[in-house]
Structure 1
């Protein structure tokens, strides 16, 4: 095992977190103790590479002058490192920021390393998720074991201890849904007590599904007053479910999904669910179903119902459609998170060049997203986790979209189109700011989604500059009819200019953790602007001034 004791900062190092985890594994899962220990160096290196890449990209403190050597430059100012000069990622944090929020980030990094090492130790041990297209999608999601493709804390599980990770994480392969009874006057939304296996509702109450861990660790402890006065009752009985990569979204035995509040921190966010999200989901699903009616290559997994405990984010639930009934014979779904990992197999089935594959894929993904933004001001959060492209014989066929909570709606454009959705009061998804709307779409679709695929295709011989020239051509094609239409010409010109500008907003994942606030964006160089050579200014970023 690599020595993890060299970190300059103590306590709170990976060594300390790993010792805690190993002590628990010795009791709870002794067979994982040795594999966990063996996996720690690999997990620390994986987290360290993402952290160093983020510190570089976000130009934090003196990172660019501290680290020499070699890195691999990519579009949008991304630099990937093969190795990192420390055994503990926390040692990569500049001294100037390791105080205040920096210590919080250090704890998150240590947590991410230990949980990633546990995941590595358990890889390929989870039971098969079942039959059908949704189960097949979950099985593929398990391939993306590192979690978020850019965030150094993609495997944080702040709020869970080792026993919780073993019982409920993706590699567990199964978890449980519990139930509570909410008095009718405190219940907001739809009655979800119709689920198979749900207990009957006491008179005057509505049965609400909750994650079993949330029921026991949060609701039973955080709401003694509501339990005492009878507003909330903990019910017996559970329902089996399969955790997806999103953790709080569970695959039900019948093929639908339940997205449930789970008050742990994964990446930058605690995964409870606002009351607004439970009420907006069905409204937005109906709206998008109507607006996407002409998009034959797009499938929406609608959020059909949602409910919450009034005034709380802790007992929320959203019911979402599954894939059953949406696919045609021979159509294969690949969850976006797994796409870069299986693209080689798809290329072999496809039979064409990597450039042709990327072009076909970009023509599938980008036009409907860009049209929604220009015509209606709707920016879907189209990162890899929310997209499930389908393929027939390796050819990009359709785009399945899911999870509406992170989208942004530009109210003036919606109003101009005669649309005023009945959003829950105070919903954060509504904005009057075009920058906010465009940043949401641009970062997720171009950087987090296509950017990852372009890098993966580079391993199959695709030159990155050539790849982004092809994407730019697809962007131009998508906007041509929008610019020709008098009703959308002005918006199309503005959107096209924004998405092909010299610099575009990048979501600064580490700066967000250091500030402790919401989304933080910073400008990065845009390969869709410098179409002749999108990498010309980052030839050797490790020696840049």
Structure 2
């Protein structure tokens, strides 16, 4: 076996200074963190269209990949819908690797060095997250407490916890899994130089100025500002989005690469935020109460994506007494998905809403972070809440067929009539993402879909979901293709057939 990469040792050294009581727990968590990241990486290697893999072969002992240079990489059977850490080691020719960063370094394919460093960060940060995670109640009372229960990050991305640019002290101070209260900087800027949409509240205004909430990491590392007034908030799983006590959620700019993307707020998204919010409400009204969209209250950009913020309603606005609203990513912590009947009901609800909107011409980015489910007092899934409209895809021709006007001022990237693009957006996020992550395995996902399908709207999109391979973002390929803009895709085995042999 190969030894930990430098990132692991660096985190241990810094942890010994800033939180020495966590050092032993961190060390204990490292093997599991390596396996969790290696499992995600192995999924990508086994199923994504990587140009340097020329053949894939399954046998009774596992799965083998033949590389273009003649080397052979072997590991266990790769369930593309499984979560957890079932891959503890793989073999590259005769060498065994239990460390994803070391494996990627040894593969030595184009752009692998940078990706290997990210994998090292992901392992170290995941071990730190597990070691320092707080202990919110099993059935939290507040929305932000649910967010803190998601410790491992993205269920399928190898960079599930990669936070390069964040020190150990900053991860402990800002990561939601650690349960901190974050002090947002309040930065006043001249209103004349700002783009403001919606209603920016009076408590974030001064005479002639707009006050922008800024993430403390952004204030320190990008804006180089200190000394402003502060506002306490609870970080959500998106890290840059925080819940204000008793109030709305605030999405801040964060110019750091987390998982795949740099988290700024584009000027185009600020300009379109009010229009999109109204549009989202209008299309959600066509779901017979099964879906609510969290409204954007106001948005501001002070001349740059680095200094911008968006205020949104809390999803709690859409709950009745006794109900809870839970991010789909946190459902696994409740134990509810362990019931096939419950999982089938949830799949039916989510797919009914997703397919109805897709038929109208709206493809949701319905992954486990954007999509939330409202649970009855008894734990039944009763309706959905969707937040963050910035990554919708909207089809004008479909809208026109249903008499829905296309809103103006939308970013061009959001508008397309390409059916493949629309289906990829919904199916890749909802089925290959939210539902698969909740189910936890291909067989469980298949059972849930079989339960839901007889009750779903009979559309051409449903036919495509039943008959074609399932699209999923090629997360590993994208990190190894830094010069290729936009999403890249893999085709996974159709979950309704997965495990049927």
TM class, shorter-length: 0.7 to 0.9
Residue 69 of structure 1 deviates from its aligned partner by 5.3
Residue 180 of structure 1 deviates from its aligned partner by 1.9
Tell me if 1:381 matches 2:365. yes
Residue 110 of structure 1 deviates from its aligned partner by 0.8
Which residue number in structure 2 is paired with residue 399 of structure 1?
Answer: 384
**Counterpart-to-counterpart distance in 1, 2:209 and 2:105:** 54
Residue 436 of structure 1 deviates from its aligned partner by 1.3
Which residue number in structure 2 is paired with residue 448 of structure 1?
Answer: 433
Which residue number in structure 1 is paired with residue 474 of structure 2?
Answer: 508
Tell me if 1:107 matches 2:97. no
Residue 418 of structure 1 deviates from its aligned partner by 4.2
The alpha-carbon distance between structure 1 residues 193 and 409, as it changes in their structure 2 partners (threshold 3 A), is: closer
**Aligned counterpart in structure 2 of residue 299 of structure 1, from 289, 292, 301:** 292
**Aligned counterpart in structure 1 of residue 306 of structure 2, from 307, 311, 314:** 314
Tell me if 1:365 matches 2:350. yes
Q: Map 1:9-158 onto structure 2 (within 5 A).
A: 14-58=4-48, 60=50, 61-62=52-53, 64-65=65-66, 66-68=72-74, 70-71=76-77, 73=79, 81-85=86-90, 86-93=97-104, 95-99=106-110, 101-124=111-134, 133=141, 135=142, 137-158=143-164
Residue 411 of structure 1 deviates from its aligned partner by 2.7
Tell me if 1:421 matches 2:407. yes
TM-score by length of 1: 0.80
3-state SS, counterpart of residue 153 of structure 1: coil
**Counterpart-to-counterpart distance in 2, 1:195 and 1:323:** 22
Residue 284 of structure 1 deviates from its aligned partner by 1.5
Runs of 4+ in 1 over 4 A off after TM superposition: 77-80, 94-97, 462-465
**Counterpart-to-counterpart distance in 2, 1:19 and 1:69:** 27
TM-score by length of 2: 0.86
Alignment check: 8 A CA contact 2:196 2:299 kept:
yes
Residue 107 of structure 1 deviates from its aligned partner by 1.0
Alignment check: 8 A CA contact 2:253 2:307 kept:
yes
The alpha-carbon distance between structure 1 residues 332 and 207, as it changes in their structure 2 partners (threshold 3 A), is: closer
Residue 407 of structure 1 deviates from its aligned partner by 1.3
Alignment check: 8 A CA contact 1:309 1:316 kept:
yes
The alpha-carbon distance between structure 1 residues 379 and 97, as it changes in their structure 2 partners (threshold 3 A), is: farther
3-state SS, counterpart of residue 384 of structure 1: coil
Alignment check: 8 A CA contact 1:273 1:316 kept:
yes
Q: Map 1:322-337 onto structure 2 (within 5 A).
A: 322-337=314-329
**Counterpart-to-counterpart distance in 2, 1:95 and 1:132:** 44
CA RMSD, aligned part only? 2.9
The alpha-carbon distance between structure 1 residues 325 and 386, as it changes in their structure 2 partners (threshold 3 A), is: closer
The alpha-carbon distance between structure 1 residues 236 and 93, as it changes in their structure 2 partners (threshold 3 A), is: closer
Which residue number in structure 2 is paired with residue 207 of structure 1?
Answer: 211
Which residue number in structure 2 is paired with residue 189 of structure 1?
Answer: 196
Q: Map 1:244-255 onto structure 2 (within 5 A).
A: 244-255=236-247
Specify every segment of 5 or more residues in structure 1 that has no aligned partner in the other structure, as ranges: 6-13, 222-233, 348-353, 480-491, 540-545
**Counterpart-to-counterpart distance in 2, 1:404 and 1:268:** 19
Specify every segment of 5 or more residues in structure 2 that has no aligned partner in the other structure, as ranges: 54-63, 67-71, 91-96
The alpha-carbon distance between structure 1 residues 248 and 522, as it changes in their structure 2 partners (threshold 3 A), is: same
Deviation string, structure 1 residues 68-123 (Cα, Å, up to 9, x no partner): 45336356x99973422323212333855444x21111111011111111111102
Alignment check: 8 A CA contact 1:72 1:81 kept:
no
The alpha-carbon distance between structure 1 residues 467 and 132, as it changes in their structure 2 partners (threshold 3 A), is: closer
The alpha-carbon distance between structure 1 residues 18 and 192, as it changes in their structure 2 partners (threshold 3 A), is: farther
3-state SS, counterpart of residue 310 of structure 2: strand
Residue 508 of structure 1 deviates from its aligned partner by 0.3
Residue 367 of structure 1 deviates from its aligned partner by 1.3
3-state SS, counterpart of residue 428 of structure 1: helix
The alpha-carbon distance between structure 1 residues 527 and 17, as it changes in their structure 2 partners (threshold 3 A), is: closer
Deviation string, structure 1 residues 391-448 (Cα, Å, up to 9, x no partner): 2212211111111112111233234434121224x44222232221110001111111
Residue 192 of structure 1 deviates from its aligned partner by 7.3
**Counterpart-to-counterpart distance in 1, 2:256 and 2:386:** 25
Which residue number in structure 1 is paired with residue 60 of structure 2?
Answer: none
Tell me if 1:524 matches 2:492. yes
Residue 160 of structure 1 deviates from its aligned partner by 1.5
**Counterpart-to-counterpart distance in 1, 2:113 and 2:452:** 40
**Counterpart-to-counterpart distance in 1, 2:35 and 2:140:** 36
3-state SS, counterpart of residue 404 of structure 1: coil
The alpha-carbon distance between structure 1 residues 158 and 463, as it changes in their structure 2 partners (threshold 3 A), is: closer
**Counterpart-to-counterpart distance in 2, 1:432 and 1:463:** 33
The alpha-carbon distance between structure 1 residues 359 and 297, as it changes in their structure 2 partners (threshold 3 A), is: same
Residue 500 of structure 1 deviates from its aligned partner by 2.5
The alpha-carbon distance between structure 1 residues 290 and 468, as it changes in their structure 2 partners (threshold 3 A), is: closer
Residue 166 of structure 1 deviates from its aligned partner by 2.1
